[in-house]
Amino acid sequence: MELDRKTDAEIAPLERLKNWQEFKIQPDEKQQREQGARCMDCGTPFCHTGHLVAGMASGCPVSNLIPEWNDLIFRSRWKEALQRLHKTNNFPEFTGRVCPAPCEGSCVLGVIKPPVAIKNNECAIIERGWQEGWVTPRIPAKRTGKQVAIVGSGPAGLACADQLNQAGHHVTVFEREDRIGGLLMYGIPNMKLDKQAVVARRVKLLHEEGIEFKTGICIGTDPDWSAGRLRQDFDAVVLCCGATQARDLPIEGRETAGIHLAMDFLTASTRHLLDHQFDGSLPAFNAAGKDVVVIGGGDTGTDCVATSLRHGCKSVIQLEILPKPPLARAADNPWPEWPKVYKMDYGQEEAAAVQGSDPRHYLVQTKRFLKDAAGNLTGLEMVEIQWAKDEQGRFIPQDLPGTLRVIPTQLVLLAMGFTGPESNIIDRFGLATDPRSNVKAEHGSFTTNLPGVFAAGDMRRGQSLVVWAINEGRGAARECDRFLMGSTRLP
């Protein structure tokens, strides 16, 4: 009633494009307390329910105790706020930066006014904790003697490792990349989630708490680490390998040089930055001087836009097959569903600052890729579409006559989501899969068809949010602990 919503300030787009550093500016304590005060401490809060409504998250999937720590911020009881936050969320510094905040979409205040700035409040709490030295290693007082292997070091794997380590088990995390973090390390650009100051900081703490990390090991294909050896050497195995099989676009000209999967592009960029200590050089695989087309409109597409701009691309546009969202909730998208409304994310804001407008083109479909005599990409042919029902009542895209056109491009990035986990490790273990090719393991039990082998995260549920991965990792840890000990005290 008295205070307006304010979120973290940001470095101006044209200024932040000069580097790869995070661009959010944390407010002073007065503003943070005021934002905590906007929380109404609802009798029936929806922000921390974590339910699926209309197929999308409504409320916090890890059931953060949001009204409690909002009130504690308001009262300047920051250390208690941190304790309440860590009760449900292992890594609030990650979710406070990259989560789309379904909690805010279901905030009761959001029915009539802009919702509480929950995500900013969460990040403020954990960063205050690090600054004050409140986040310290928690060494388990007693060890069980049980050995657990976790394959994959993304948010699900790290959350699972953290929980099982605190239960007293010896945990070894296997990662095929050269650095720990999975999606957190290579799937999200540095300006959105700082690898050295944020990701490596938490990994270092987990190591100090007793978790063992092994990098550069691809279970199943590494000659020293077969699936059989893993099951033989460890009392339990938890698979958190993600849903990394990218959706491709098998149309005419797909083999043309210059067409790449988005995650390959983002990974190469971040790896080069870290290997070269942000010295200003660019990877060999870059967007410098090119007309870039990003196909796909999700977070990964936005990250490709922002990364291309920092490489110094000539231009960048983003193609979306879906219609432009409305400015306000549509009648069929009521609260507390996730609000499907138009907004510009950081990448689009940066592109607009450089090029003068939002780079997204809606209701368009790529028909074929064009190349020169040497086989290099020169452009793509696209058409405007409308959505209509076929004879079975399914919505399908239909080309609009007279809208076919060619746009120049020398680099196309495919950011159309993921179809499921890679099949290699599934085949090596002999795991059962569901109709969507995910590992078959019921939510709540996380058990596969193999005794002592569990699955969690995107590998089990399909492509999803970081906060859902943390939820899954915690759940799998709970059931793994029950398998090992006969009962569990893990939340």
Arithmetic mean of pLDDT over the chain: 96
- Residue at 162 is within a domain: yes
- 436 is a domain residue: yes
Mark whether 199 and 255 lie in a shared domain.
no
In this prediction, residue 55 has a pLDDT band, given cuts at 50, 70 and 90, of confident
pLDDT surpasses 90 at 314: yes
Please tell me the distance from the alpha carbon of residue 150 to that of residue 74, in angstroms, as a whole number. Answer: 39
Dist CA 166 CA 490 (whole Å): 9
- The pair phi, psi for residue 462, each rounded to 5°, is 95, 175
442-483 pLDDT, tens digit per residue, is 989 999 999 999 999 999 999 999 999 999 999 999 999 999
Q: What percentage of the chain exceeds 90 in pLDDT? A: 94
Q: Which of 77, 101, 132 is the last residue of a domain?
A: 132
370 with 291: CB under 8 angstroms?
Answer: no
* 154 and 258 housed in the same domain: no
- Regarding whether 252 and 240 lie in a shared domain, the answer is no
**The pair of three-digit structure tokens given for residue 439, joined into one six-digit string:** 């590992």
Identify the pLDDT of residue 245: 96
pLDDT for res 57: 85
- Final residue of a domain: which of 132, 165, 188? 132
Closest among 8, 38, 21 to 120, alpha carbons compared? 8
Q: To which H or E segment does residue 119 belong?
A: helix 118-132
Q: Is residue 141 part of a domain?
A: no
- 264 and 179 share one domain: no
Statement to judge: residues 175 and 265 lie in one domain = no
pLDDT tier for residue 351 given thresholds of 50, 70 and 90: very high
Give how far the C-alpha of residue 416 lies from the chain's centroid of Cα atoms, to the nearest Å.
14
Q: Looking at the domain assignment, is residue 491 inside a domain?
A: no
CATH assignment at residue 342: 3.50.50.60
Read off the pLDDT of each residue in 20-27 and give the average, rounded to a whole number. Answer: 95
Report the candidate in 242, 235, 239 with the shortest Cα–Cα distance to residue 219. Answer: 239
24-38 pLDDT, tens digit per residue, is 999 999 999 999 999
pLDDT tops 90 at residue 1:
no
Could you tell me the two tokens for 474? 């915690």
Q: How far does the chain reach from its first CA to its final CA, in angstroms?
A: 36
In-domain check, residue 403: yes
Q: Where is the domain boundary, 132, 155, 186?
A: 132
Residues in CB range of 227: below 8 A, 6 or more apart: 219, 220, 425, 428, 429, 430
How much of the chain exceeds pLDDT 70, in percent? Answer: 100
384 burial (CB, 10 Å; 0-12 / 13-18 / 19+) is middle
CA 235 and chain centroid, separation: 30
| pLDDT tens digits, one per residue of 419-448 | 999 999 999 999 999 999 999 999 899 999
Is pLDDT at 43 greater than 90 in this prediction?
Answer: no
Q: Is residue 4 part of a domain?
A: no
Within a domain: 320: yes
**Whether the predicted model's global pTM rises above the 0.85 cut:** yes
- Verify that 371 and 266 share a domain, yes or no: yes
What letters, b where the CB count within 10 A reaches 16 and e where it falls short, cover 450-485? bebbbbbbbbbbbbbbbbbbbbbbbbbbbbbbebbe
Residue type, 90: N
Comparing 42-56, 149-163, 258-272, 358-372, the range with the smallest average pLDDT is: 42-56
Whether residue 220 is predicted with pLDDT greater than 90 in this model: the reply is: no
Q: Running DSSP on this structure, what letter comes out for residue 115? A: P
171 and 320 inside one domain: no
Q: What is the pLDDT of residues 66-111, one digit of tens each?
A: 999 999 999 999 999 999 999 999 999 999 999 999 999 999 999 9
Angle at 29 between CA 26 and CA 35, to 5 degrees: 85
What is the identity of the amino acid at 198?
A: V
Domain with 99 in it: what CATH number?
Answer: 1.10.1060.10
Together in a domain, 202 and 289: no
Distance CA 132, CA 78 (A): 10
CB-count exposure of residue 486 (10 Å: 0-12, 13-18, 19+): exposed
CB 193, CB 184: distance < 8 Å = yes
Asked if residue 423 and residue 409 are part of one domain, the reply reads no
> Is 73 contained in some domain?
yes
Sign of CA dihedral 304, 307, 311, 313: positive
Domain count, the chain: 3
3-class SS of residue 491: coil
pLDDT digits (tens, 9 = 90+) for 112-146: 999 999 999 999 999 999 999 999 999 999 999 99
Q: Which domain holds residue 99?
A: 9-132
How far out from the chain centre does Cα 427 lie?
26
Could you tell me the two tokens for 435? 């109709």
Residues 292 and 376 in one domain: yes
Residues 66 and 124 placed together within one structural domain of the fold: yes
Buried b (16+ CB within 10 A) or exposed e, 183-199: bbbbbbbbbbbbbeebb
Does pLDDT of 51 surpass 90?
no
**Is the domain of 205 the same as that of 313?**
no
From residue 472, alpha-carbon distances to 40, 163, 463 in Å are 29, 11, 13
